[in-house]
Structure 1
Amino acid sequence: MKVLKFGGSSVATPERIRAIADILKRYHAKGEKFTVVFSAFGGVTDSLIEMGKLAAKGDENYRDKFAEFSRRHFDAAEELFDQEHLDIVNPGLEKNHQVLKNLLHGIFLVREASSRTMDYVLSFGERNSAFIIANFLQQEGIPAGYLDARKVIKTDKTFGAARVDMDLTEKAIQEHYQDNPDIQVVTGFIAADRGGLTTTLGRGGSDYTASLIASGLNAEAIEIWTDVDGVLTADPRKVNKAFTIPNMTYAEAMEMSHFGAKVIYPPTLMPALKKNIPLTIKNTFNPDYAGTLISDVPDPGGHAVKGISSINEVALLTLSGSGLFGVPGIAGRLFSSLAQGGINVILITQGSSEHAISFAIQPKHALKAKKRVESAFEYEMRMGVVNPVRVEEDLSVIAIIGENMRYRPGISGRLFQALGKNGINAIAIAQGSSELNVSVVINRNNESKALNALHETFFLSDTKELHIFMVGVGLIGSTLIKQIMDQADFLRETRSLEIRIVGMINTKKMVFDESGIDLKNWKSALTESETKGDMKGFIAKMKELNLTNSIFVDNTADESIATYYEEILDSSISISTPNKIATSSAYLQYQRLKTIAQKRGVQFLYETNVGAGLPVISTLNDLIISGDQITKIEGVLSGSLSFIFNSYRAGTSFSSIVKEAQQRGYTEPDPRVDLNGLDVRRKLIILARESGYPIEAKEVRIENILPPACQQAPTVEAFFAELEKADDYFDEMRAQAEAEGKVLRMIAKLDNGHASIGLEAVDSSHPFYGLSGSDNMIVFTTERYKERPLVVRGPGAGAEVTAAGVFAEIIKIGNLLY
């Protein structure tokens, strides 16, 4: 014998009831013996509760709700039955509805609905659905009989969540099924006390009904048919990559249900566990899918962690003080005071110092629990050896669950590493000696982020998903988007890396998509967005989304955006940027940003601040970390200035070369930023600070090369006009250098902490002599590289190399997150 149970979503419409009939026909055709338990039609129980509440308040609107209830069941019958069977079903429904109508009227008159009365009200949902379906199965050729569970499931008088008398119930079930060989269609959720008063079995009551019947019949299997493909690794509403667990033990299922898994409820498992009856969770809408098998057979080859579950809202109370240390009976007094108040404890944790005991409960009981515990320890508090109970709210409990965890070292380490790298703080931790679960209390606003981080760690560890929030989609930004799009398949296949751009902003618009903006159509998505570009709003939305592995990418040179870096890093979001403003501003702020990044365990990467895509900063850091000492740094640090002076030959004008550099995107919009050495100064400051020198901008000596008229020009256009007039001035400098066999180079130097920038003429013996195009070159003279300095050379400007440098940092951050 099998016991099948179908939930409210499975019987919500006549169409779905027909689908269930098709499933049962297949069982019947195969000669299988089974009985079926049904919940009320989807939404009906809530409707009955509302009717009762309205009637109890004297609100006549309960009559409208009753009319809807009645009409829904008559309409379902009208659609399901032929006239012959309709003539049988409708009188039964009319009888039920008349009783319910009279009952609600009585509640309305006395303005009161006790738990006992409400149990009777709620019984009409299951009674109607099972009655309709039993008759429909008969019409479809299945020999079905209607069984009101009140005949066989016997309970005490704890209305709302009655306790089952197992001996009476099993005896009644066995007697009824011996006398009724037809397929029994049973009402879920409802029962009766010894005197016949209607009771209900509480949350998950219909599943419990199925398990009780299976236990009474010593059934071979229980099947719970619902609207999902089984027990999932996590809540799919919060973790979109959650998948079905093929099999699990009763203990694992019990833990999952305790920590919020909605598919199965603890009472359901107890009768099945006692009789060792395997239980399968199946999907009514996908009947051929295997679902999840719950039994006593462990899966030693499966995942160490079977599932990740959470309790969305808890309060954490802490009793602390020196008076707890070494005193027997403290825990007993504490938890007795809670038990006497009917307060259920979700989680308990106590340090070995015995200085404090923390426990999690439902927030609605927090104040009551605080008062009860403080009353129990009133004497100790008056003596000053126990502190007032501390209450922390807006918390959640996350639990990883699995019997195999005890055999796999490092599980807890991976859990805390995943949380830590996503900036999620563990407020309290609990682990049982069986190692079946590890529970962590965290801030409630981090629940979804934590679930996704842990799910990725334990189930998708081969797949890394990064969430990018991109500011600036101009030349560098659009090039970076193209590079990410072009490399997507390669990264997915060879590095198991998924990069999703989930937020994007320019000066006019911003757009967000948690699943990832379609990079083939990103321009239209941004253009057609109805949300105006607002940097403050963009940061707020990024923080609100609170996605795992978030990276903020700033492709601009905007000073105002750099002011948000501290807030971003402090929100545990990594940053990659070619924007040099933050790292070259006040030294104290530079230091502060690096400290916050380190404190929050996130990355603040700015390799492209110096040398675009060249490994300049990373090389410098590697030298320092390995114990080398930097004595001098010399560099042609500007790709634009490198291009300008490398291209400046006899027969070309200086102004035309500068114009060409601007058109190629090598220079800043105003080339004077480059020619005045301001951009180079920022880069030199960064190199100096990375070398350990707390240099400020005013300490860098710059040799100006532009005549005053060029400096003072009011616009870029006016600047170029003045630059043309100065062509002879620059031509004279070039000619003099050539006459000496030299070339002009704008060189930045850091020598024993002294920083300077100037235009120099160098001969063929100098490393900078042979530079070409927009190449940068940085020469490191160190204790190890004293005789032959270390040289880094390559393209130092251009959207392609800069974007590639940012892209490399994104991948680096992704690798560091795992």
Structure 2
Amino acid sequence: MKVLKFGGTSVGSSKNINNVISILEKYAKKDSVVCVVSAVGGITDKLLLAGKQAQNKDTNYIDTFALIKDIHFNIINELNPNKSNAIIDYVDEQLSDLKNLLDGIYLINELSPKTSDKLVSFGELLSSFIIAETMKSRGLSTERKNSQELMITNSNFTKAEVNYSVTNKNIQDYFKTASQEITILPGFVSKSLTGEQTTLGRGGSDFTAAIVAAALKVKQLEIWTDVSGMFTTNPKLVKQAYPIDKISYQEAMELSHFGAKVLYPPTVQPVLDLQIPIHIKNTLEPEAVGTIISNDKTNSTSPVKGISNISNIALLTLQGSGMIGIPGFSKRLFETLSQEKINIIMITQASSEHSICLGIDEKEADIAKTAIDTAFENEIALHKIDPIIVETNLSIIALVGDNMKNHQGISGKMFSALGKNNINIRAIAQGASEKNISAVIAENDVKKALNTLHEQFFEAKTKQLNVFITGVGNVGEKLVEQIKQQRKYLKENLKINLRITGLSNSRKMIFDEEGIDLKNWKDLLANGETATLDGFFENTKALNLRNSIFVDVTANKDVAGLYANYLRESIGVVACNKIACSSDFENYKLLKRLSLKYNAPYLFETNVGAGLPIIDTLNNLIASGDKVKSIHAVLSGSLNFVFNNFNDTTKFYDIVKQAGAEGYTEPDPRIDLSGVDVARKILILARESGMEMNLEDIKNTPFLSESGLKSDTVDDFYETLIADEAHYQSLFASAKANKSQLKYVAALNNGKASVSLQEIPEGHPFYNLKGSDNIVMFYTERYPEQPMIIKGAGAGADVTASGLFADIIRIGNN
């Protein structure tokens, strides 16, 4: 004999009910079948709503009743086009009784537990009858047996306790003589020894099925729902979640207790005693493997079997110095909550005995606070303890696994992963059995926490990075295309799943939690919402994705001003914008501190030398104990391009225009030609070397003409280049006469920094620097005579984008 249970969603529509019938018909060809069914999906909630409305003198209960009636008759009409009078008559009679009951509740303005049980019983009684009669009409050997005649309980209404001796005998006696191939039983419903209608409480249909399975000692209980088994975590929140093939009874109960909706813990008890396996199956995908719950040993390689959570938690904290060393506080606290029938979900107590934390259902928080403050009124008045502290909008997340106790470092990995993503833990609980590690976190961090932990414990060490890019002009577009090209390589070789989840230019911005489609990102961006800097930050913050990285591909001061906001949210920052790192020293140090405090990487390799590993090399020298003595460098690819192409046969104006057209200078070339850009770069290197310095401390010797320095607009500046051609030719002529090359040089010596145009003689390492190349020479304690030299392309969209990309990958590898 087979025992199957189908939940509310499985019988929530005529289509799903037809799936159920097909499954039962297939099973019945091999063995007799007992099928326990829930109420039609959503009906129990509607029955309770109607009862509450009637109790509150709200005439909307009539509309709710009408909706309940319509749902059932629509299903009947779709299942039975040639419906028999038997179905119509029974359903009409039941609905008439339901309406009379609701009218009675409305008249007396009362909904007692006893009446509530009678009210909600209609759901299962109706669904089971409709399904059984439909199967009969299709020629299947089917009978419906009212479970109220089998399930006998006490009179503890809304959660009655089963009288197993009577119930088991009833079940065994009935099925000894039952000749039908398929028996339909309504779940959840029961009757007391005195004949009053009762219910088995939350998860009652599962409970009914388990009781029947245990009474008949079947080989396996099957519970059919709308998912393919118990998942590693909530698949609605974690797309990478997958079904667990096999799981132990204890693991299943732990996961169910902490929010896994597939199974309700008391369900397990009747079959647990008899070691009857439970098979979770999917009505919508009957061929799916599902999950088998048993005590058989599994071959799982992961010590963690699943991750679950309970939402809408309130954390109660009883604390005070008067608790230390005084027995009885815990007893009084728990007794107070017990008297109020408040269930405690989680308990944790400091070893100092200074505080006790309890997790309860948020709906009961106000009642709990009032009761506890009253119970400890005297101690509070004497300041021995504080009034109970209540925190809401919380959730409990839990790692579950029988084998966790045999593996070191599970809790360390859990808390480290959460900490790296700025998920604050309010309380922790771990039993001595080590089968469960629970933590209380903010409700709005649940999705990020589940994804973070699932990635840590269940995915093939693939780290997901969520990138938000502001500024998709020349460099930004190259970066997007590089990411698009390399995504597959990163995933397969570096185990980095890189997704662009936010994009913005000066006009529009778009976001996609699942990753923007990079095949048509330009069209998507063109049709995005209006862009604002604060709006981009707020959207990034609201998505609250793990391993989030903000990438600034602008030269905008206002964008740089938001870095601190991102870092405080544990969102990493990657920037080619030099303004933040060359701003006031206190702001530079603040960003560094925030990066460490919130475990949010702040990388800006492209601030100096585009894609060249200049800052990274310097940081490695410092970290290894070396000390910088001096730095000499050509750090402007744009200025190097200009002076490598300018001579006595060209015009300075034409070369500067060409540099701008090829993307080597900023739209305002004065930023490059004034030396400010190079000054910022040497300032950043000085700071990264450990020196406290500001931009005004750097000596900047300009080479521009006086009129060029005083120009008000870009157009005016270009006019001065034409007018002052003789000035620039004189610079070239002097260098030529001295057999030298013009190079714009940055220098750091003895704690002082300068930038200036210099004539570099033949034989100097800077002399043959071509195109837009940069070069940096580090003289350190380990490299006192022969410097460490880094040389290569220091400007251009492709190399700058690759430098940003390298910083993103560096974060992914950490």
The two structures share one fold, judged by TM-score above 0.5: yes
Distance 2:726 2:67 in 1: 93
Deviations, residues 617-652 of structure 1 (Å, cap 9, x unaligned): 111111111111111011111110111112223422
Residue 329 of structure 1 is matched in structure 2 by 328
Q: Paired residue for 1:794?
A: 792
Counterpart AA for 2:211: L
The verdict on how the C-alpha distance between 1:746 and 1:71 changes in structure 2, with shifts beyond 3 A counting, is closer
| Structure 2 residues not aligned, in runs of 5+ | none
Aligned to 1:444: 443
Q: Deviations over 1:723-748 (max 9, x none)?
A: 12222222222122122221111101
Q: Answer yes or no: is 1:398 the counterpart of 2:366.
A: no
Partner of 2:304: 305
**1:165 shift after superposition:** 1.8
Contact 1:300/1:404 (CA < 8 Å) preserved in 2? no
Deviations 1:101-137, CA, capped at 9 Å, x for gaps: 3222222322322221121121111111111111222
Aligned twin of 2:410: 411
Distance 1:350 1:78 in 2: 58
Which residue identity lines up with residue 14 of structure 2 in the other structure?
Answer: P
Letter in 2 for 1:464: K
Deviation at 1:100, TM superposition (A): 2.0
2:128 aligned residue: 130
User: Counterpart of 1:547?
Assistant: 545
1:290 and 1:506, CA in 2 relative to 1: closer, same or farther beyond 3 A?
same
2:762 pairs, out of 751, 761, 764, with: 764
What is the TM-score of this pair, normalised by structure 2?
0.97
**Aligned residue in 1 for 2:22:** 22
- C-alpha displacement at 1:514, in angstroms? 0.5
- Measured after TM superposition, the shift of residue 461 of structure 1 is 4.2
- Which stretch shifts more, 98-107 or 780-789? 98-107
CA contact (8 A) 2:24 2:33 kept: no
Is 1:468 aligned to 2:455, yes or no? no
Q: Is the 8 A contact 1:505 1:511 kept in 2?
A: yes
CA–CA distance in 2 between the matches of 1:693 and 1:411? 41
Q: Does the residue aligned with 1:582 lie in a helix, a strand or coil?
A: coil
Indicate conservation of the 8 Å contact 1:115/1:159, yes or no. Answer: yes
1:455-604 mapped onto 2 (5 Å cutoff): 455-529=454-528, 531-604=529-602
Q: Shift of residue 18 of structure 1?
A: 1.7
Change (3 A) 1:60 1:640: same
Mean Cα displacement is larger for which, 596-605 or 730-739? 730-739
Query: In 2, distance between residues paired with 1:125 and 1:765?
Result: 93
Residue 298 of structure 1 contacts residue 403 of structure 1 at CA under 8 Å; is this kept in 2?
no
Kindly tell me: are residues 79 and 740 of structure 1, through their superposed partners in 2, closer, same or farther at Cα, counting changes over 3 Å? Answer: closer
For structure 1, which segment, 88-97 or 577-586, has the greater mean C-alpha deviation from structure 2 after superposition? 88-97
Percent identical pairs in the alignment equals 46
- Which amino acid letter does the alignment assign opposite residue 131 of structure 1? F
2:742 is paired with a residue of what secondary structure? strand
Contact 1:315 1:363 in 2 (8 A): yes
Paired position in structure 1 for 2:201: 202
- Distance change (3 Å), C-alpha of 1:106 and 1:391: closer
Partners of 1:442 and 1:41 lie apart in 2 by: 35
Q: Please tell me whether the aligned partners of residues 743 and 769 of structure 1 are also in contact (alpha carbons under 8 angstroms).
A: yes
Equivalent residues in 2 for 1:299-378, closer than 5 Å: 299-378=298-377
Q: CA deviation at 1:281?
A: 0.8
In structure 1, the partner of 2:808 is 810
Go from structure 1 to structure 2 and tell me whether the alpha carbon gap of 1:732 and 1:68 turns closer, same or farther (over 3 Å shift).
closer
Shift of 1:382: 4.1
Match of 1:688 in 2: 686
RMSD after superposition:
1.6
Aligned-partner Cα distance in 2 for 1:596–1:326: 40
Residues 1:258 and 2:248 are matched in the alignment: no
User: Displacement of 1:308 after TM fit?
Assistant: 0.7
Pairing 1:188–2:161 present:
no
Question: Do residues 236 (structure 1) and 243 (structure 2) align?
Answer: no
Q: Which residue of 2 aligns with 1:165?
A: 163
Distance in 2 (CA, whole Å) between partners of 1:71 and 1:626 is: 76
Q: CA deviation at 1:458?
A: 0.7
| Counterpart Cα distance in 2 of 1:126 and 1:736 | 99
Q: Secondary structure at the match of 1:280?
A: strand
Alpha-carbon displacement from aligned partner over 1:582-611 (angstroms, at most 9, x marks no partner):
000000000001001100111000010000
Q: Report if aligned partners of 2:601, 2:811 keep a CA contact under 8 Å in 1.
A: yes
In structure 1, distance between residues paired with 2:259 and 2:300? 26
Q: Which residue of 2 is the match for residue 776 of structure 1?
A: 774
Q: Is the 8 A contact 2:160 2:198 kept in 1?
A: yes
Give the unaligned 5+ runs of structure 1.
none
Aligned equivalents of 1:624 and 1:506: distance in 2? 37
Moved over 4 A (4+): none
Q: Is the 8 A contact 2:253 2:265 kept in 1?
A: yes
| Compared CA separation, residues 51 and 388, structure 1 to 2 (3 A) | closer
Separation in 2, partners of 1:593, 1:75: 62
What is the distance in 1 between the residues matched to 2:78 and 2:384? Answer: 71
Deviation digits for residues 251-298 of structure 1 (CA, Å, limit 9, x no counterpart): 001111111111110111111212211101110000001101111123
Q: Which of 174, 177, 197 pairs up with 2:175?
A: 177
SS of structure 2 residue aligned to 1:67? helix
Aligned amino acid, residue 10 of structure 2: S
Rounded to whole Å, the distance in 1 between the matches of 2:350 and 2:326 is 14
Distance in 1 (alpha carbons) for counterparts of 2:448 and 2:793: 39
Question: Aligned equivalents of 1:714 and 1:396: distance in 2?
Answer: 58
Aligned amino acid, residue 441 of structure 2: I
Aligned pair 1:423/2:429, yes or no?
no
- Native 8 Å contact 2:318 2:355 kept in 1: yes
- Which stretch shows the higher mean deviation, 186-195 or 365-374? 365-374
Partner of 1:581: helix, strand, or coil? coil
Shift of 1:317: 1.6
Task: State the alpha-carbon separation in 2 of the partners of residues 555 and 80 from structure 1.
Answer: 60
The amino acid across from 2:12 in the alignment is A
TM-score scaled by length of structure 1: 0.97
Structure 2 Cα separation of the partners of residues 320 and 99 of structure 1: 53
1:282 alignment partner AA: K
Structure 2 distance, partners of 1:359, 1:106, is: 40
Select between 544-553 and 421-430 the one with higher mean Cα deviation: 421-430
The count of aligned residue pairs is 813
C-alpha distance in structure 1 between counterparts of 2:352 and 2:406, whole Å:
28
AA of the residue aligned to 1:459: F
More displaced 10-residue stretch of structure 1: 486-495 or 74-83: 74-83
Q: Which amino acid aligns with 1:13?
A: S
1:300 Cα offset (Å): 4.3
